[in-house]
Chains A and B, each alone.
Chain A
Amino acid sequence: MIAVLGNLAILAALGAAISVVVVGMRSQKSGDTQALRIPVGVFALAALTVFIVLEVAILTHDYSIAYVANNSADATPFIFLLASGWAALEGSIVLWGVILALFTFLVWRRLDVVDPLGVLAVAVMGGVAVFWFGLMATAGNPFSVCTDVAGGLCSGSSWWPLAEIALPSDGRGPNPLLQNHILMAIHPPMLYIGYVGFTVPFAFAIAALLRGDVGKIWLERTHRWSMVAWAFLTFGILLGGWWSYEVLGWGGYWAWDPVENAALLPWLTATAFIHSAVVQRRRGMLQAWNFILVIATFALTILGTFLTRSGVIASVHAFTQSGVGPALLVFLALVVIGSLTLFAIKARDVAQAPRLDSLSSREGFILANNLLLTVFAFTVLFGTMYPLIIETLSGSEVAVGRPFFDRAAVPLALLLLLMVGAGAVAPWRVATREVMWRRLRAAMAAGFIAGAFAVLIGVRSIAVVIAIVLAVYVITAIVVRFATVVAARSEGVARAARTVVANDRGYWGGQLSHIGLALVAISLATTNGLAVRETVTIEQGSSAVVAGYCFTYIEPFSIAEPNRDVTGVRIAVMDEACSETKKILEPRVNVYAGGSQPIGTPSVWTGPIDDVYLGIAGGSAGVVDLNVFIFPFQWMLWVGGLIVVAGGVLAMFRKPGSTPRASETVTAPEARNGDV
């Protein structure tokens, strides 16, 4: 019954998406927004219905639906039942589709009454939706019914909703890793809002190309959408890293896993895009480049989905294999070939005389950062695909992993920081040596002093010292710039600061993000370069000392929960003399019903400087083998990441069409020297 309802909703959404395309194409000449009212409304409602029907099936334990039977169970807690709606392949396609539908509706709501470009952009979004809902109706159907039962579990399914149903007595439950932490319920939707959000600038870009309307209007109109998508993508990646840190237990947050790379790739090109978009708005340059970047970002979100959902690259995230992979590949090829052909046809209109007055200028530094970001993206993409390429060409199997990515990313990231500091304070058009020196000298000194301080307190890793020097230089450059601009105003400091930010939220939002980025860089360096990792064996009642902390094994404990059995140990984290207890930590191991291997849950104490991270490595009665990790300034990664997101949110509220003012204010000493 619910399978019929679900499939009808999918077909309704698919039909509505097709009508969005048809009506949109037909009314793009007149630009009549109201013509799309019914198609878009029906599409959004039907898509929402698909999602709700799937969630209802899961929450009511309707195991006649194969997806429900395979990804949830009676004992699954409520929040993870909810999350089961998008935790596996078919459900993630539903989530993608419903977010796309909501974006389409919101974009349509904000169109002008007569809006040829906007109407065509909505039609393009409808076209993208046709693919996703077509996928749902065929290879990725979430409402396939269970037709075979073995051992009480669903073992065979049919897409035909009226096929004879075999009802399993219980579901398999979610993948144990996915029901171990609340973040797993939040991280995928955040990431998907980011992914899907880039459909909006992509659709406007394609619509602009189709209409030959290649000026900056499409950029102006998609600024806020791009920032929303970027902020969510950033937040989603941050939550993913946090989840990995809190759940996986190896003490890290980033492993260059293909799925992580799949999220990083569009983030890198999107970051390049939001910067080069500013250059086009301000200076009229990089028109063509912006089309390329927005097409690349959209294509990379599809490529990422293909890489991770087709099982083509074995990865901890690539749970499933099905006909969805080939479909995604065909769609990807269509997007890339179609967009680039369209772009090539219209290239004559887009191309314009480059007007780069000087490499030393705001646009020059942004250009340099764009180059670094795209080379970064290319390197990550190439490294991720390399095993596939080699295997296809030579048949030999190779692996590209963390050592390569770490080594390639560090120099690129350090160069990026160097350019961020310079670009943040450089004026447009021409930044003379005198201006740059005046705006950066304090930052340079502060960076070197911070580096010297780090060396004096015992840091001996060159990479860590360089990262600290550059990060402090970036932060100081921005803070000094802000102070200079604020001081140049006559009103009181607090008021002036507010006015300065309010006048140019785009610029200062960006600088806030840069400060967050610098904090992230420091944390990346310290948690990798200064981490302590030891495994100690402790008997109950006795202690071990690692890196200035004393760990005392108090007692073991065990808890039986409906969906899992938890066993753990209570460990007191004490000062070096083992006299004063700072925190009790409870690392544990969970065995899930139906799960194959036990899943560890590390226990973390965030102190003022260090994170103390404990995981159970093994043990027997009265003895525990404890993984002890110490990560200095780990908290700075999460705080810095949130500041990056906050900067994006601030920049979202740039006044439409406003041109930066405050950042361009000529301060008194500079005016004297005659430069702007």
Chain B
Amino acid sequence: MSEHVRSIIAIALSAAALVVIVVGLAASNQPPVNAEERVAALSASIKCPFCNGESLAESGSGVAADYRQLIAERVAAGYTDDEIRQEFADNFGDSFILDTSTSSWALALWIIPMVAMAAGVAVVVSMRRAAKQSEEVTT
């Protein structure tokens, strides 16, 4: 089999598979999130009071079980995720909410690692630039 044929086969197979992936993912309606999954996600994003740093989802303590039960009741009663989290924040303080995507101080948490990444990329690119320049000088 020539190189050319191999390349064409690889491209054709990849393209066909990619179509299946895209169509499959796009066509399917995401299954509705069930109550258990919401409770699991919520308890993973709320710190367990009196549990030494674990989330409600991780802690095996009775307290955590009680709060998970409370969350389940709230979900069943039709509260939104934010409302439930807010209730915990009001009772225990913001530091009990582990999901930090919404608060303003969380911005720096995201931006600073991104700046570090950008700085790293800049260093690597400059290494290549410097090498290129020294090549030009020597040739």
Contact = CB atoms under 8 A, between A and B. Distances in A.
To the question of whether A and B form a pair in one complex, the answer is yes
Interface of A: 248-250, 252, 255, 257-258, 313-316, 318, 353-359, 367-368, 371, 374-375, 378-379, 382-383, 386-387, 390, 394, 396-404, 407-408, 437-438, 441-442, 444-445, 448-449, 451-452, 455-456, 460, 462, 465, 469, 533-535, 597, 599-600, 617-618, 669
B21 interface: yes
A355 B132 CA distance: 9
A314 B53 contact: yes
Contact of B127 (A354, A460, A669): A354
Given A356-B131, A401-B100, A451-B21, 11 more contacts: A250-B57, A355-B134, A374-B120, A396-B105, A401-B44, A401-B98, A403-B44, A438-B7, A441-B10, A452-B16, A469-B21
The interface centre, meaning the residue of A258, A313, A460 with most chain B CB atoms within 10 A of its CB, is A460
B21 A255 contact: no
A465 to B, nearest CB: 6
B25 A397 contact: no
Nearest to A319: B52
Nearest to B126: A354
Q: For chain B, which range describes its interface: under 10, 10 to 19, 20 to 34, or 35 or more residues?
A: 35 or more
A84 B60 CA distance: 23
B120 A375 contact: yes
Contacts of A400: 98, 100, 109
B101 interface: yes
24 contacts: A252-B58, A314-B53, A318-B53, A353-B131, A356-B128, A359-B128, A367-B127, A371-B117, A374-B120, A399-B95, A401-B45, A404-B106, A407-B101, A437-B7, A444-B14, A445-B10, A449-B13, A451-B18, A455-B20, A455-B21, A462-B25, A533-B40, A534-B36, A618-B65
Interface string B103-139: 1011001101100110011001101101100100000
Nearest to B10: A441
A357 B52 contact: no
A445 B13 contact: yes
Given A378-B116, A398-B95, A404-B100, A316 B53 contact: yes
A367 to B, nearest CB: 6
Nearest to A367: B124
A252 to B, nearest CB: 7
B138 to A, nearest CB: 10
Interface string B76-97: 0000000000000000011111
A401 B55 contact: yes
A390 B14 CA distance: 48
Given A359-B124, A402-B44, A438-B3, A382 B113 contact: yes
A285 to B, nearest CB: 8
A375 B94 contact: no
Contact of B24 (A368, A401, A452): A452
A403 B97 CA distance: 10
Contact of B36 (A354, A368, A452, A535): A535
The interface centre, meaning the residue of A358, A390, A398, A451 with most chain B CB atoms within 10 A of its CB, is A398
Contacts of B70: none
B139 to A, nearest CB: 13
A451 B37 CA distance: 25
Interface string B34-61: 0011001000110100011111011111
B128 to A, nearest CB: 5
Contacts of B121: 371
Contacts of A437: 7
A449 B9 CA distance: 12
B120 A401 contact: no
B64 to A, nearest CB: 9
A250 B64 CA distance: 11
Nearest to B57: A250
B10 A442 contact: yes
A442 B106 CA distance: 42
Contacts of A600: 60
Nearest to B56: A250
Contacts of B45: 401-403
Contacts of B99: 401, 403-404
B52 A316 contact: yes
A211 B17 CA distance: 58
B32 interface: no
A403 B116 contact: no
B5 to A, nearest CB: 11
A448 B21 contact: yes
A403 B24 contact: no
Contact of B93 (A313, A397, A404): A397
B10 A398 contact: no
A300 B126 CA distance: 28
A456 B13 contact: no
